[in-house]
Structure 1
Amino acid sequence: MFQLRWLWANLKGSRAVYICALVLSVVCNAMFVAAQFFQSKIIDTFISNKQAAENLRDHRDLLLWLIAGMIGVTLLRTSLTYTCNMYYEKASQAMIYRIRTHLFRKIENQDMDFYDRYRTGDLMTRLTGDLDMVRHMVSWVISNTVANLALFAASMIYFFTIDYRTALCIMTMTPVIFFVTRLFSRHAGPAYRKVRETSSALNTAAQENISGNRVVKAFAKEDYEIEKFRKKDEEYRGANIKAAMVWLKYHPIIDIAAGALSVILLICGGYFMIKQHLTMGQYVAISGLLWAVGNPMRNMGTYVNDFHRFMASAGKVIEIYYEAPRIVDREDAAENKEKLRGDIEFKNVTFSIGEKKILDNVSFKINAGETVVIMGETGSGKTTLVNLIPRFFDCDRGEVLVDGRNVRMHKLHTLRSSIGIATQDVMLYSDTIDSNIAYGDSDMEEEYVKRCAELSAASDFIEKLPDKYETIVGERGVGLSGGQKQRISLARAIAVRPAVLILDDTTSAVDMETEHYIQQSLSGGLDFECTKIIIAQRISSSKNADKIIILENGKISDMGTHDELIKHEGYYRQIYELQSGINCAAESEVTV
């Protein structure tokens, strides 16, 4: 099966250790037979034999050797079992480390649409619970299956060497158990896939509610969310009960069949002893090893059960494991050794999501060092447009050029490391403010971190915090206001000294005075040259821009400077009149 081949591929580097563990497992379980062999010899020679007293007197050294053999085999088996378990653990942990690291790398390098298709809770389930099931398969299911098969095979071979008739009687239950296990296997797979799906849905519901707890409280929807979670939990419970009932339906039959071995031995073994086909020692040896035949039969259902749980989990892990991003470096992409200048050009760019066209034949040019403001109604395509510059998405038709070269011909790392982005939806990490600002360069000097905080108007409130720049911010910036988070995000974008600075409605949550300060800092306070692309809705952000682009339904409806755009009817003039309270047409008539 593909899942097992995938496991073997990921055991690379630990295969020798794992194979050694499997071999030791076979040897350890085969050694149970040796102990019973010594025991049968002791009984037949020194207990049930007619010359037992004479043998005890004349061959006491043999008795001591047989006892020493039993003790030695037991101690050796214990030592080998310990070594075997250590090898299993070492191999399985190395394998799961390899898979988990690969999975996280895969997730980190995926395209933006990947995160639209997979829910956070589902991804977390694959990285935790599903991977634990994969490790359980390697360290427990496979190892115990091999151990039980070795134990069963060694015991049956030993039984056949003693008396084939008794061995055949004991084996009568094997076909029954095999048939029942096959039936169980057919029903267990779908049941455990359902368990896995409901588990993912439950984790997603929990993750979303914990992340959005403030929204829940703001709308007093605690009872609603508790009920919604309860329904998901009930579905998960129901799926687990159904899976358990599949197991409980067949397990008693397997258990009864395995338990019947004792009755078979009592009847058949007793009869063969009377017929002198078996000695007392041989009967005791078979009786002592009967568990070695019965337990593997009982455990077979458990291992099939765990195998199907593994198949359901491994299928979900493998789905991400082989997921390939579409936006990758081309083989002929140029390796830029110098920093990008910041020239940007869109040539007849069209971009769609499914059947919906987001951008339609968009063309414009921005020279390095210019400040360009993009405005338009919600859903007009502003954020999508700027996301095409760092190749978060690739356009369907047309070209996006940076420094005269198609963005597809730039190395992704070079392109994205030359672009600083600050968005309205700010993501801050559970770390210090200093670390959040210096996220793009962990070796950044503290003085420069403070300088960037000053440029983004963040230094004043940071200095008032108890630990200042060493203050730990909560998850996603909990404890800070929206404006404070936006200013830290802006400082983080500035700190990498980008060739292109993209601000997506970054000052929407700050007051007018702070916004004015930030605008002055960006226009004259930066110690490096950069192209600034600002998505904004405030006229105050666009007055001094070199160019203003108006988007409407994915198309450029207008373009020009502030003075040019307020002179004629259009979206920009309407926004200007609404925000300033000035009627441009009336003002023009008065002037005339």
Structure 2
Amino acid sequence: MFQFKWLWHNLNGDRARYIIALCLSVIGSSLTIINPYIGQRIVDTFIASDNAVKNLTDERSLLIGLCFGMIGFSLLRTGLAYFTTLLYERASQNMLFRVRIYLYNKIQGQDMQYYDRNRTGDLMTKMTGDLEMVRHSLAWIIKTIIESLTIFLAAVVYFFFIDVSLTLWLLILSPPILIVAFIFARRVRPMYVDLRERLSQLNTTTQENIAGNRVVKAFAREEFEIRKFTEKNVNYSTANKKAALVWLDYFPYLETLSQAFNVILMIAGGLLVMDGRITFGEFSAFSALIWGLSNPMRNIGIIINDIQRFFASLTKIIDVYYAQPQIVNEHNPVVKHRYKGSIEFDNVSFKYDSATVLENISFKIAPGETVAIMGATGSGKTTLINMIPRFYDVTKGRVLVDGKDVRKLELDELRGNIGVATQDVLLFSDTIDGNIAYGNPDMPEEEVTKFAKLAAAHDFIRKMPEGYDTVVGERGVGLSGGQKQRIALARAMAVQPPILILDDTTSAVDNETEEHIQRSLKELEFSCTKIIIAQRVSTTSQADRILILENGRVIEEGTHAELLAKRGYYYGVFMLQNEGIEREVTAHGKE
């Protein structure tokens, strides 16, 4: 019942239309008994009657009227069916539109942990195939159930009106059909739950392969990916066939029992006609309307099939619909102001799935200060900076911006004061100008150019076919890693944030370009606190302060000179990188 309450709730705005459609379905289906009744009158009066010839002469106008009545009611039913279908489609499409927007907004509002737990392909399946199945159920399956049930009841009432005993003989088949249908429903439902899961896996594999196509080609793993996709496709196909073919186990029983209606009618009805209990016209009415009993029974398996698909899909959608993020963006209207840019980590710890990522981290960053963070892979650097814009919440302790706990700040305002550029760059399928001005679409062209120059991106952009109007492909296809990083850096600086977070954004650029970027960051026209994750000493050496992370703890802190004097982790990295430079210089000298 919960699923139907959910449907009713989301029909808000189209409930009247849908109720009218349901009522018209009942009316249109009830009219199916009219033509058999007219046919009964024609047979009894003008064909099987002892006075048939006389009636044809004397009651010709009645015959013509009955014939036109049959045509008229047929046209009326056709018109009602057409109008009813329009109403169902309009209501279901409107509901689909509203729910899809709601789900998209819901997914947009989820925190990072939600994306960590849910696969992209699975979410895409829910937003497309599962949602369309729910719409199909609303527009066609429920309509079919209502119409089948109405026709069945109308036929039974009409049959009882003609002859009770013959009707009871026909209805004796209903209980075994319902029992078979019930057994079929219990067996097939878990199959469709499994089927939707396999479809999600197939879509996930497809999405990952397309997104990572360059990596696949780089490692010449096309054959492996084809085999992996084929395996998922076979699993989905097998589950689909299994769910579809299980119907064949029950089809013979339902079809035989449905056909038995005609057999009972021929035997029992024929005997009643010979005994004079019913007229030949009444028997013809039974014959004309027997499909009103047999068809719903015959279609009950197909209806159950679709209903189980509906429940499997709706369960998936409801998971997204009612999912609640742990970090909620209320989008409350506030008078947004520019932050000063001070940051403090107060005894911060963070666990992810019971694994400790950060432990007891405390430090302060003054407004306008540049702090570099260095550490081995997996030391917690990216997790640390994710605490500032509240992509994740601390497990223990506090992160403060301008002296206020970030958990008490309005998220839109907090994130609007932070510019972020990551190593894993995502550019949208848009122009370069559109990507740089993503945070402020109304940004003047000269401003876009200015920040592109600061990020050392202007020179290569103007050499492109259409300059800043060049459309980059999905994820920036067509650009080198360094070019994408520089556009991402320009995008982060373009919003002129008081806090700028750069996660290894110069890892793919040459030393000369990196030097230009470092100089630009120092000479920004707006006050800005900068947090830079880097592995190059040439980058960290320019910072006011350097933090060294190891296993989620700060093990070293100080300026470039202070950390070199300590001869710890930072000194070791410095010696390794400078030794490499010395070897390179020596090698060039020998050449």
Q: TM-score range by the shorter chain?
A: over 0.9
Partner residue in 1 for 2:585: none
CA distance, structure 1, for counterparts of residue 136 and residue 274 of structure 2: 47
1:503 alignment partner, SS class: strand
Q: Quote the RMSD (CA, aligned, Å).
A: 1.6
CA distance, structure 1, for counterparts of residue 565 and residue 262 of structure 2: 100
How far 1:126 moved relative to its partner? 0.8
What amino acid does structure 1 have at the position aligned with 2:29?
Answer: N
The answer as to whether partners of 2:109 and 2:329 remain within 8 angstroms in 1 is: no
How far 1:447 moved relative to its partner? 1.5
CA distance, structure 2, for counterparts of residue 581 and residue 306 of structure 1: 69
Partner residue in 2 for 1:379: 378
Write the deviation string for residues 52-109 of structure 1: whole angstroms up to 9, x where unpaired.
2222222222222222221221111111111100010011111111221111111111
2:565 alignment partner, SS class: coil
Write the deviation string for residues 459-487 of structure 1: whole angstroms up to 9, x where unpaired.
11111111111111111111111001101
1:341 maps to 2:350: no
Partner residue in 1 for 2:245: 245
Partner residue in 2 for 1:97: 97
The answer as to whether partners of 1:258 and 1:297 remain within 8 angstroms in 2 is: yes
How far 1:399 moved relative to its partner? 0.8
1:391 alignment partner, SS class: coil
How far 1:494 moved relative to its partner? 0.8
Partner residue in 2 for 1:170: 170
The answer as to whether partners of 1:455 and 1:521 remain within 8 angstroms in 2 is: yes
How far 1:192 moved relative to its partner? 1.1
Write the deviation string for residues 108-141 of structure 1: whole angstroms up to 9, x where unpaired.
1111111111111111111111111111111111
Partner residue in 1 for 2:586: none
The answer as to whether partners of 1:329 and 1:410 remain within 8 angstroms in 2 is: no
Partner residue in 2 for 1:215: 215
How far 1:434 moved relative to its partner? 1.1
CA distance, structure 2, for counterparts of residue 44 and residue 442 of structure 1: 79
How far 1:511 moved relative to its partner? 0.5
Alignment of 1:479-490 (within 5 A): 479-490=478-489
Count of residue correspondences? 581
Partner residue in 1 for 2:511: 512
1:350 alignment partner, SS class: strand
Partner residue in 1 for 2:588: none
Alignment of 1:295-310 (within 5 A): 295-310=295-310
Report sequence identity in percent.
Answer: 53
CA distance, structure 2, for counterparts of residue 427 and residue 522 of structure 1: 22
How far 1:264 moved relative to its partner? 1.1
Structure 1 residues without counterparts, runs of 5 or longer: 584-592
Write the deviation string for residues 144-175 of structure 1: whole angstroms up to 9, x where unpaired.
00000001111111111111122112112111
Alignment of 1:251-290 (within 5 A): 251-290=251-290
CA distance, structure 1, for counterparts of residue 542 and residue 506 of structure 2: 16
CA distance, structure 2, for counterparts of residue 329 and residue 493 of structure 1: 21
Change (3 A) 1:149 1:23: same
2:284 alignment partner, SS class: helix
How far 1:582 moved relative to its partner? 10
What amino acid does structure 2 have at the position aligned with 1:488?
Answer: I
CA distance, structure 1, for counterparts of residue 437 and residue 278 of structure 2: 81
Moved more, 6-15 or 85-94: 6-15
Taking structure 1 as the reference length, the TM-score comes to 0.96
1:549 maps to 2:528: no
The answer as to whether partners of 1:419 and 1:502 remain within 8 angstroms in 2 is: yes
Moved more, 451-460 or 38-47: 38-47
Moved more, 147-156 or 349-358: 349-358
Alignment of 1:174-253 (within 5 A): 174-253=174-253
2:460 alignment partner, SS class: helix
Partner residue in 1 for 2:579: 581
CA distance, structure 1, for counterparts of residue 446 and residue 298 of structure 2: 69
Alignment of 1:127-138 (within 5 A): 127-138=127-138
What amino acid does structure 2 have at the position aligned with 1:350?
Answer: S
2:439 alignment partner, SS class: coil
What amino acid does structure 1 have at the position aligned with 2:198?
Answer: T
The answer as to whether partners of 2:428 and 2:473 remain within 8 angstroms in 1 is: yes
Write the deviation string for residues 540-585 of structure 1: whole angstroms up to 9, x where unpaired.
11222111111121111111111222122111111222222399xx
Partner residue in 2 for 1:37: 37
CA distance, structure 2, for counterparts of residue 237 and residue 354 of structure 1: 34
Partner residue in 1 for 2:584: none
Taking structure 2 as the reference length, the TM-score comes to 0.96
CA distance, structure 2, for counterparts of residue 473 and residue 582 of structure 1: 36
The answer as to whether partners of 1:420 and 1:498 remain within 8 angstroms in 2 is: yes
1:570 maps to 2:558: no
CA distance, structure 2, for counterparts of residue 150 and residue 541 of structure 1: 77
2:173 alignment partner, SS class: helix
CA distance, structure 2, for counterparts of residue 283 and residue 329 of structure 1: 69
CA distance, structure 2, for counterparts of residue 4 and residue 77 of structure 1: 28
Change (3 A) 1:429 1:582: closer
CA distance, structure 1, for counterparts of residue 329 and residue 304 of structure 2: 44
CA distance, structure 1, for counterparts of residue 374 and residue 269 of structure 2: 92
Write the deviation string for residues 490-514 of structure 1: whole angstroms up to 9, x where unpaired.
1111111111110000000000000
CA distance, structure 2, for counterparts of residue 251 and residue 8 of structure 1: 33
The answer as to whether partners of 2:177 and 2:254 remain within 8 angstroms in 1 is: yes
What amino acid does structure 2 have at the position aligned with 1:204?
Answer: T
The answer as to whether partners of 1:330 and 1:409 remain within 8 angstroms in 2 is: no
CA distance, structure 2, for counterparts of residue 543 and residue 190 of structure 1: 60
Partner residue in 1 for 2:437: 438
1:581 alignment partner, SS class: helix
The answer as to whether partners of 2:341 and 2:499 remain within 8 angstroms in 1 is: yes
Partner residue in 1 for 2:474: 475
How far 1:537 moved relative to its partner? 0.9
Change (3 A) 1:385 1:336: farther
Partner residue in 1 for 2:490: 491
How far 1:336 moved relative to its partner? 5.0
CA distance, structure 2, for counterparts of residue 56 and residue 246 of structure 1: 54
1:566 alignment partner, SS class: helix
The answer as to whether partners of 1:336 and 1:410 remain within 8 angstroms in 2 is: no
The answer as to whether partners of 2:338 and 2:417 remain within 8 angstroms in 1 is: yes
Partner residue in 2 for 1:587: none
CA distance, structure 1, for counterparts of residue 186 and residue 280 of structure 2: 43
What amino acid does structure 2 have at the position aligned with 1:534?
Answer: I
What amino acid does structure 1 have at the position aligned with 2:295?
Answer: N
What amino acid does structure 2 have at the position aligned with 1:260?
Answer: A
What amino acid does structure 1 have at the position aligned with 2:72?
Answer: G
What amino acid does structure 1 have at the position aligned with 2:344?
Answer: E
Partner residue in 1 for 2:354: 355
CA distance, structure 2, for counterparts of residue 219 and residue 582 of structure 1: 28
Alignment of 1:143-162 (within 5 A): 143-162=143-162
